[in-house]
Structure 1
Amino acid sequence: MNIKRNWAGVISCFLLFTAVCLSLAFNVKGAFRASGHPELGLLFFTLPGAAASFLSRRGEVVRPLLGAILAAPLCLLLMRLLFVTTRSFWQELAWLLSGVFWCALGALCFLFVRSLMRHRRHHK
Structure 2
Amino acid sequence: MKTERGWAGVICCFVLFIIVCFFLTLRIGDAFRTSGHSELGLLFFVIPGVIASVISPKRQLMLPLLGAVLAMPVCLVLMRQGFFSTRSFWQELAWLFSAVFWCGLGALFWQFIRVIAGAKRGRQ
User: What TM-score do you get using the length of structure 1 for normalisation?
Assistant: 0.96
Aligned pairs (5 A) from 1:1-124: 1-58=1-58, 60-124=60-124
Q: 1:59 to 1:118 in 2, by over 3 A?
A: farther
Q: Report the AA paired with residue 100 of structure 2.
A: V
Please list every run of at least 4 consecutive aligned residues from structure 1 whose deviation after the TM superposition is greater than 4 angstroms.
Answer: none
In structure 2, the gaps of 5 or more residues are none
Q: Map Cα deviations across residues 84-110 of structure 1 (whole Å, 9 max, x no partner).
A: 011000000000110000000000001
| TM-fit CA distance, 1:59 | 5.7
| TM-fit CA distance, 1:51 | 0.4
Q: Map Cα deviations across residues 18-73 of structure 1 (whole Å, 9 max, x no partner).
A: 00000111142111001100000000000000000000013610000000000011
User: What TM-score do you get using the length of structure 2 for normalisation?
Assistant: 0.96
Q: How many residues align?
A: 124
Question: As a proportion of its length, which structure holds more helix?
Answer: 1
Q: Report the AA paired with residue 89 of structure 1.
A: F
Cα pair 2:50 2:103 within 8 Å, conserved: yes
Q: Distance in 2 between matches of 1:27 and 1:121?
A: 44
Q: Distance in 2 between matches of 1:63 and 1:38?
A: 29
